[in-house]
Structure 1
Amino acid sequence: MPQVLFVAASVSFVVNALFGASVKAGWVNSAPFHWVHTALYICTFALTAAAVSTVFWGGGVAGWFLLPALVPLALLPYVRARSWGHVALALSVAPFLALGLSVSLVS
């Protein structure tokens, strides 16, 4: 069961990153539905926090590897959207998600 949270958090992050990248590249005009990116961010943050919480209810140690991802995720709303700093901060989450997902699938 805990693996589902890690997969869901990773998928949510990838979908949100792809959506943000397509807006940044100018392929998608998100003006009419800008809330989608925010909703995906909230979903990603909540799923990541839930996956981290698995260490407290017997889901193994994978949550410890994912814990550092909560810091950049928590800081993202304070970095100007559409800036390269926002992109860099968002992408800094990826290694922790990959590691947490890998460990959760192996253990």
Structure 2
Amino acid sequence: MRRRRRASRHRGPASPAFLASGICYAANCALGTAVATRLIDTRRFRWVHHALYIATVSTTLLALVAGLRRDRRASLAIAPALAPLAVIPYAGTHTRRHPAIALTAAPFIAAGVITSRR
């Protein structure tokens, strides 16, 4: 007689992708804040902020796709974060719009991370 395995709600490593997205986003915000408050001067290595932005967008997309197969609720929670992340390059960097738009992604990324952990 065969035993049935219990169906698990969590079918794989979706949450590491969500966690990576949250870490990249937090690192990018921390660097942006440090530059804005002049704690760090990135004139010589401006590419770091751009690389963190690309990593944030990439890991958010990865989390969305990974979550569609494993944790649909977490994917739906993080999906709206892609809209402000897509607008950021066009917002200008020396205005108040840039950090305001960047911060609108925060609740969605946090919701995705928290939802994927449950």
TM-score range, shorter chain: over 0.9
Pick the structure with more helix per residue.
Answer: 1
2:72 aligned residue (60, 63, 74): 60
* Equivalent position amino acid for 1:76 in 2: I
Which structure 1 residue ranges, 5 or more long, are not aligned?
none
Residue 69 (1) aligns with residue 81 (2): yes
Which structure 2 residue ranges, 5 or more long, are not aligned?
1-12
1:30 aligned residue (42, 46, 64): 42
Give the paired residue count.
106
Write out per-residue CA displacement over residues 67-86 of structure 1, whole angstroms, 9 at most, x where no aligned residue: 00000000100010132100
1:103 aligned residue:
115
Residue 90 (1) aligns with residue 102 (2): yes
Equivalent residue of 1:57, what SS?
Answer: helix
Q: Are the aligned partners of 1:60 and 1:104 in contact in 2 as well (CA < 8 Å)?
A: no
Residue 51 (1) aligns with residue 63 (2): yes
Q: 4+ residue runs of structure 1 moved beyond 4 angstroms?
A: none
1:12 aligned residue:
24
* Equivalent position amino acid for 1:7 in 2: L
Quick one: percent identity of the two aligned structures?
A: 33
Q: Are the aligned partners of 1:52 and 1:66 in contact in 2 as well (CA < 8 Å)?
A: yes
Equivalent residue of 2:101, what SS?
Answer: helix
| 1:56 CA drift (Å) | 3.1
* Equivalent position amino acid for 1:5 in 2: A
| 1:44 CA drift (Å) | 0.1
* Equivalent position amino acid for 1:29 in 2: D
Paired with 2:104 and 2:94, the residues of 1 have a C-alpha distance of: 16
Say what the alpha-carbon RMSD is for the aligned residues: 1.0
